[in-house]
């Protein structure tokens, strides 16, 4: 694989974020399934992905087993292959109130901060973590390196992650921070 300069890497991510300039988000949804085995149906999240619901489509955040995160615009939620043939019913749970606290409002993305590995495949949009900042300073941080899957946090999550990984963020280190504003 050809080694890219830090500037080339940043430019590739900035170009990929350009599609988010005019979108508005109004909900955060976790995919999962309804387990009807007990006396009361129970929603069980499938923690490897999250959807940011936009006024037109969805932004899918997907974590993988290597602790990498990818994002991409999709038209509708993707049915998990792990549920095919199972009795559980696919469902989405709304968590927008935890991160976008004003009900029935939509918010423009005002900044994205992410950390990428210098060996990341930018064509796939791979990253170590990402934070979206929305109007009114609402924030959603996603960390795919969590043991149970994709971990979401609000205000301060990204800064705590940076502090924990500070030694890897040196110019010669394996991680690079990218900040994008529309």
Spell out the residues 6+ positions from residue 168 whose beta carbon is closer than 8 angstroms to its own: 174, 175
Enter the pTM of the model.
0.85
Measured CA distances, 139 to 5, 9, 25, 86, 133 (Å): 30, 24, 11, 35, 5
Which mean pLDDT values do the consecutive 10-residue runs of the chain (182 residues) have?
A: 53 80 90 89 89 92 87 89 73 85 78 84 79 90 87 93 81 79 88
Distance CA 29, CA 58 (A): 10
């Amino acid at each position: 694989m050809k080694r890219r300069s830090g500037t080339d890497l940043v430019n590739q991510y900035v170009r990929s974020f350009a599609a988010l300039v005019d979108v508005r988000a109004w909900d955060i949804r976790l995919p999962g399934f309804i387990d009807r085995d007990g006396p009361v149906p129970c929603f069980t999240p499938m923690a490897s992905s999250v959807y940011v619901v936009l006024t037109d489509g969805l932004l899918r955040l997907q974590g993988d087993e290597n602790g990498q995160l990818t994002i991409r615009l999709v038209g509708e939620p993707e049915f998990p292959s792990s549920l095919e043939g199972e009795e559980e019913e696919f469902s989405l749970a709304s968590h927008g109130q935890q991160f976008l606290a004003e009900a029935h409002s939509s918010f423009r993305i005002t900044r994205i901060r992410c950390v990428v590995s210098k060996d990341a495949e930018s064509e796939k949009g791979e990253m170590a973590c990402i934070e979206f900042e929305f109007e009114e300073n609402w924030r959603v941080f996603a960390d795919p390196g969590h043991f149970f899957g994709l971990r979401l946090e609000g205000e301060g999550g990204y800064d705590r992650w940076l502090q924990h990984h500070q030694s890897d963020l040196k110019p010669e280190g394996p991680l690079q921070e990218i900040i994008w504003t529309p």
